[in-house]
Amino acid sequence: MARFSEEQKRIALLLIHGPKTPEELNSQLNIPFNKLTDELKAMMKLGVIEKQGFPTKYTLKKNIASEVQKRKKIAETDINKLRIRAFIEMQAIEEELLKKQIKQLEEAMEKDKSFTLYNLDKAPIEKLDEYYSTYFELNFSVKDFASLIRFMFFYGPSSVEVVKPAKIEFSAHDLQDGLMEAADMVQKYSQAIHKLMNRDELAKFNTNLYK
């Protein structure tokens, strides 16, 4: 799944308002012309923009323009400060079971009031050995630290990135709530593991865990 540079995001936001020549983009975005040309070429390669007319103008492809407008509209009413990008990997022994799990995850994210979901991109399902697998790329905002902790435990992302802001402050109350959430969940996982393992298996698990 494509990862866009900050310059490409700025170009895309400007192209929402209509096709632009490289010169128009250069004057409005104040990006060095050589850098701008490289970014436009990269966006062409990614299938995000296309050329039209003479003199040559660049425009967003319709599906991309719709997605950018959708995100912009969501952002206008989103009061959450913490924006997150995450990947979630999923596997199942049967394809239909995996599809069911995918649907459950989508519905859970859309219903969860702790998050504002900007987009959820799904990779095609592939069969690897005896398993069917896929992964999601999520772009969402989260209202507080405790909600982020819950996301980590309930959804089990394989990768998490803070998109913005570069710096954020949490109140002591919010931090305390998040830490209590984490402590409670760790205790529940620990109890479940103790029930599933005998003493030797548990000792081996702890040795591997704390290496």
Residue 94 lies in a domain: yes
Can you tell me the distance from the alpha carbon of 30 to that of 160, in angstroms, rounded to the nearest whole number? Answer: 31
Query: Could you tell me the pLDDT band of residue 19, with boundaries at 50, 70 and 90?
Result: very high
> Mean pLDDT score of the chain, rounded to an integer?
87
Cα distances (Å, whole numbers) of residue 175 to 39, 67, 70, 170, 184 = 40, 34, 32, 6, 14
The answer on 50 and 85 residing in a single domain is no
Among 6, 60, 73, smallest CA distance to 35 is for 6
Q: Checking DSSP bridges between strand 159-164 and strand 115-122, what pairing results, if any?
A: unpaired
The tens digit of pLDDT for each residue in 161-202 reads 998 888 888 889 989 998 998 898 888 877 877 777 777 776
- Please state the φ and ψ torsions of residue 53, each to the nearest 5 degrees: 65, -175
What angle (nearest 5°) sits at the alpha carbon of residue 90, between those of residues 180 and 110? 60
Can you tell me the distance from the alpha carbon of 124 to that of 2, in angstroms, rounded to the nearest whole number? Answer: 14
Residues of the chain with pLDDT > 70, as a percent, come to: 95
What pLDDT was estimated at residue 54? 87
- List the domain range (segments joined by +) for residue 134: 79-169
Can you tell me the distance from the alpha carbon of 97 to that of 91, in angstroms, rounded to the nearest whole number? Answer: 9
Q: Which of 37, 66, 95 is the last residue of a domain?
A: 66
Cα distances (Å, whole numbers) of residue 74 to 7, 115, 133, 139 = 21, 12, 30, 12
| Ramachandran category for residue 31: left, alpha or beta (phi over 0 → left; psi -120 to 50 → alpha) | beta
Residue 130 lies in a domain: yes
The answer on 163 and 85 residing in a single domain is yes
209's CB contacts (< 8 A; 6+ apart) are none
The tens digit of pLDDT for each residue in 48-65 reads 899 988 889 999 988 888
Task: Estimate the share of the chain in helix, then strand, then coil, as percent rounded to the nearest 5.
Answer: 55, 25, 25
Q: What is the pTM of this model?
A: 0.68
What pLDDT was estimated at residue 72? 84
Cα distances (Å, whole numbers) of residue 79 to 59, 140, 143, 203, 205 = 30, 12, 8, 46, 42
Query: How is residue 50 written in tokens?
Result: 């296309």
The answer on 83 and 62 residing in a single domain is no
The answer on 62 and 23 residing in a single domain is yes
Q: In the predicted model, is pLDDT for residue 2 greater than 70?
A: no
Among 102, 133, 132, smallest CA distance to 120 is for 102
The tens digit of pLDDT for each residue in 79-116 reads 998 999 999 999 999 999 999 988 888 888 888 888 89
Residue 106 lies in a domain: yes
**Residue with structure tokens 């069911």?**
100
Residue 205 lies in a domain: no
